[in-house]
Amino acid sequence: MVNHGGARNRSGPAANMYSARSDARDLRARKLPVGGYDGDFPPLSDFLPDAKEREGQVWAQAWRSPQADQWIRESWRHRTIAMWVRWSVKMEDPEAPAATAAAAQRLADSIGMTPAGLKENGWLIVADDSTDNPEQKAKQSAAKRSVGRTMANGKRMRAVAAPTTRDDDD
């Protein structure tokens, strides 16, 4: 019998990148700019030599997304992105079977084009000015202070009043 056990990418609760435990393990979300990526990107013909015009449009559009800011650093993803483009265009056909949508969805998760995919990859889309916003800085420092008030098991510590002693004057 073949062993079927082992960890799966979505088994059990996902790590929460805002938890004290994740802080202790130094797990941090990779922040992607909400404005998207504006640099050069590889030509689709490197991955799909027979690409259709619509696939080229979707490819160019995808490379302007916030996720592309990370894709450009990970060349091993480029072929998967090309496959997502192909399956996404196939899915646009009203006669496309459900399996086509399922394939496109799985690929979208893999490359971070869905909320689940963003979480799975440990990415977070943030406003470009989020670090300059004083309100945001105040919230972040308050969150850091509250994380500091947790015990090793992640539970919050409660304030307990110290017993007071009375001097009885007889």
31 found inside a domain: no
129 found inside a domain: yes
Pair of tokens at residue 20: 């004290």
154 found inside a domain: no
Of 81, 84, 77, the closest CA to residue 104 belongs to 84
**CA dihedral over 143, 145, 148, 149, signed as positive or negative:** negative
Q: Which range is least confidently modeled, 51-65, 92-106, 113-127?
A: 113-127
Domain that holds residue 106: 36-142
pLDDT computed for residue 16 by the predictor? 67
How many C-beta neighbours within 10 Å does residue 137 have? 12
169 found inside a domain: no
Q: Tell me the average pLDDT of the chain.
A: 80
126 found inside a domain: yes
